[in-house]
Amino acid sequence: MIASDKLACGRRGSVPRLSSGTVNYVGGLREAVASGQVDERFLEAARRAARSRVCSRPPPTGSPDWSNEDIDDLVFETISRVEPNQIVLAANEAVNDVQFVGWLRKAILTTLNLRARKTPGGRVIRAMDDALRGGPDLFGLRAGHWYLVGDVRQPGWSQGDAELVATAWGVETTTIQASPRATKTAPLAYRRDIRAVCRAVLELAGPLPKAQLAEVVAQRFNVPFIEQFDYLGAGEGIEDQDVDAYEDGDGTDDVDDGIAARWMLDQLTEEERRVLRLALRGDGVRGISSVLGCTKYRAELLTGRLHEKLRRLAHLTGSDPQEATSRLIELVGQEQQLRHSTTEDGSDGE
């Protein structure tokens, strides 16, 4: 239920401003939303979350700054997209106001990224089409369906996506995660990796509609989780020609260590970057579990994922894996400093 009567009373003063740029959320935001009440506390939190996420992105109206109306439209679009019942559930799932606001910010970031890509699957379809067109001996496109050359089966896969996704995950690839903020290109993964995944899936299913194959590819490369796990957008600095060289790489040519490390940094979740720092400090699984406040099982999972990604980085750079790993560690340090300075500026929200 919306507490519109409360807002009409104009109790905006109940959110005390500590200083410019920072707000101390009045306790009870999470509880209010968890009970289905969306009052001025929620509006304030949502607007602040939106303002903290738009950063340097251009406003949709083309004006130089984001107006209040632009921000309100972004908030409304996010809530409509996520749906109110999921917002109430998320508030019930959060530990406290801070965690709930963190969830809200990720939801808003997802909306911004979806706006940038126009359609959710558009970017994935584009990357997939580019990759499959690069392998004309293997793939063909007919009536909106991708198929394997020589496959005489008619389109007719009716068992759903689950088995296809499982098959896709059976293919080992070099890169794992898309860069969330790259705009010029769509560095989803190596084109040869996309081709390998599509080949395995099409071998199982026969011809598949573009959109369905793209959905499987998106799940294989963790596209739905880009915002949730705070992957970096470090790949923004990579030039187009580097991306082309990188995406077409067949794994035998040397890849510049710096580019590979920068790319790999995109592949680490926020927690994995923390685990890397802790591992460098000499912490084992128990120490990592203690610092992150998680169970041993989860610490083992994070450590295992990090080792696997570093192994792939080493494979990627071929000649000098230690150098690339050192460069990655250096980048993680820079990223940490960047985050620290951003926090000090107070420009990163709450």
Partner 1 sequence: MASDRLQRRLAELDWPTPALDQPELAPGQLWRASWHETAGLVVILGNPSGRTVNVAAASANATGDDKTLVASTGNSMTPTVWAGLTADIKTFTLEHRITDLTAKDLGAVRAVVAGSAPGHWAPIVDDLDDRALVRAELADRLEKLAEAEWIPKTDTAAPRLSDLAKKSGMTASRLGTELHISPGDARRLLQEKREPTPSEVGILTSLFGTTPSGAMELDADLLVEMDLPEFRSALERRAHRLHTGDTIASRRTFAASMTAQAARQRETGRRNWRALIREALHED
Applying CB under 8 A, the residues found at the interface with partner 1 are: 1-2, 4, 7-8, 34-36, 38, 40, 43, 68-69, 72, 75-76, 79-80, 84-90, 92-96, 99, 161-166, 169-170, 176-177, 219, 222, 224-225, 228-229, 269, 271, 293-295, 297-298, 301-302, 304-305, 308-309
For partner 1, the closer CB: 2 or 211: 2
For partner 1, the closer CB: 282 or 293: 293
The least CB distance from residue 214 to partner 1, in Å, is 16
The least CB distance from residue 80 to partner 1, in Å, is 7
For partner 1, the closer CB: 84 or 333: 84
The least CB distance from residue 295 to partner 1, in Å, is 5
For partner 1, the closer CB: 185 or 219: 219
The Cα-based distances of 299 to 48, 242, 275, 276 in angstroms read 33, 34, 8, 12
For partner 1, the closer CB: 45 or 242: 45
Which residue in the block uniquely carries the two structure tokens 């395995």? 200
The least CB distance from residue 160 to partner 1, in Å, is 9
For partner 1, the closer CB: 7 or 148: 7
The least CB distance from residue 6 to partner 1, in Å, is 10
For partner 1, the closer CB: 242 or 266: 266
Residue 23: strand pairing partners: 17
The least CB distance from residue 168 to partner 1, in Å, is 8
The least CB distance from residue 2 to partner 1, in Å, is 4
State how far the Cα of 134 lies from the Cα of 241, in Å rounded to an integer: 16
**Burial per residue of 293-322, b for 16 or more beta-carbon CB atoms within 10 angstroms, e otherwise:** eeeeeebeebbebbeebbebbbebbeeebe
